[in-house]
Structure 1
Amino acid sequence: MTYIVMLNWTEQGIKNVRESPKRLDAARKALEAMGGSFKDFYLTMGEYDMVAVCEAPDDAVLAHFILALGMGGNVRTRTMKAFPENAYRELIAGLS
């Protein structure tokens, strides 16, 4: 399953922004240990500081990862479940 994770640094996270790449590496390893992965990661301008495209076996795995990430105190997240194009097409085709 694919998820879009939008992240903002907390006050703690921005104070230690130079450590952010190391935190990203640790997050990537943590998600991989849970059976998931980061597909893409972006530093962004606008409402969110960063956006990640992640994959996980199910919602529970991603929820566990996001909760663990939040416990670090460096970021706050908003997560959306994403349906790839083929799933989108199947959903639309199944409408009556």
Structure 2
Amino acid sequence: MQKYVLLGNWTDHARETFLEIPERVELTKKIIGELKGSIDFFFTMGEYDFIAIIDMPDEESMVKYLLKAYQARYITINTLRAWDDTEFAEMVSEL
């Protein structure tokens, strides 16, 4: 599985319909599950409205999710590919 960190903000439209945000989070979990992935979602204070940590089987699955997320126009996100300490140590050991 590949790990991604999303740093996100709600769009103006999402803020206007903020009572629907819990439903949209559940829909996001469903979509990611259908793509064979998983998500941990956190609401935050500060520069970002939320962060999410997503595990996906491959980049293609992640891109499919991102396209669906952008299509809904409720969020803006910065996506970061992440490696855990074991994966990083393995990459470094190959140098």
So what's the TM-score if we normalise by structure 2?
A: 0.93
| Aligned 8 A contact 1:66 1:77 in 2 | no
1:61 alignment counterpart: 61
Q: Distance in 2 between matches of 1:93 and 1:46?
A: 37
Gaps of 5+ in 1: none
Residues matched between the structures, number: 94
Query: Identity percentage over the alignment?
Result: 28
Q: Which amino acid aligns with 2:74?
A: N
Gaps of 5+ in 2: none
SS in 2 for 1:14: helix
Q: Which runs of 4+ in 1 moved over 3 A?
A: none
Deviation at 1:92, TM superposition (A): 2.1
Q: Distance in 1 between matches of 2:60 and 2:47?
A: 26
| Aligned 8 A contact 1:5 1:53 in 2 | yes
| Aligned 8 A contact 1:42 1:50 in 2 | yes
2:15 alignment counterpart: 14
| Aligned 8 A contact 1:5 1:78 in 2 | yes
